[in-house]
A and B are shown apart, each in its own frame.
Chain A
Amino acid sequence: MLLLGPALLAALVVTQTFTDGQELTVGPEAGGVAASGVVMWRTGSVVATIATAAVVTAALRALG
């Protein structure tokens, strides 16, 4: 049962990042989530991680 956590969380991350309804997509939020992963890895700060996801996604969307 102890490996349910990683499998479940990873499934939630990818479905919420790469899907739109039942379609697989790679949009601005993929860039935002990837950037947030780097921030979490380097800093371990949850608030900075989540703020990065929103700011990078918004910036990519504004540019695109």
Chain B
Amino acid sequence: MRIVLSDVTKSYDGRVVIGGFSQEFEERSAYVIEGASGIGKTTLLRIIMGLEDCDSGTVTFEEIQNIRFAPVFQETRLIPYLDAVSNVKLANNGLSGSRIKEELLKIIPASELNKKASELSGGTARRVEIVRAVLSDSDVLIMDEPLSGLDDKNADLVASYIMDNIKDRIFIASSHNKRLCTGAHSLVLQ
């Protein structure tokens, strides 16, 4: 499986956000897109997931049909009145509650397990979303600033959790945080 972006451009209101971006993404590999904020990292991730169209250029998926993305968006997208386990379960129907719990406990404290998502701190909600994406039966993990809102200790923990669980997938993230770059291909948007 491979994702090939060739000469992708995107403008908003006449302002070029992405100008001629080309890159191949291979399975079992990690890619971290760096660059100042507002440079178009989020837009690029959305174009890859098919949530936005590019103005010109192409995005092709090779050697795969019906590709499945597992996203972590820039802002929290959890069902606010459900707890962490139920939120992860909605995206992972095949998994048992105890399996999900076990996985969540790797990166969030036990005291947070039974709280509603709306009661979780930003950093904890983020980690729940990361587990939801990592566990899901997917081909591509896409994470927009996955380490934002995490202190150094947790950022280390989460970064290695993600890297250990890429498996056969393609992992593409945008990040300001250098931790994710270890072992990843670093792409700089300009």
A and B associate:
no
Residues of B near any A CB (own CB < 8 A)? none
Residues of A near any B CB (own CB < 8 A)? none
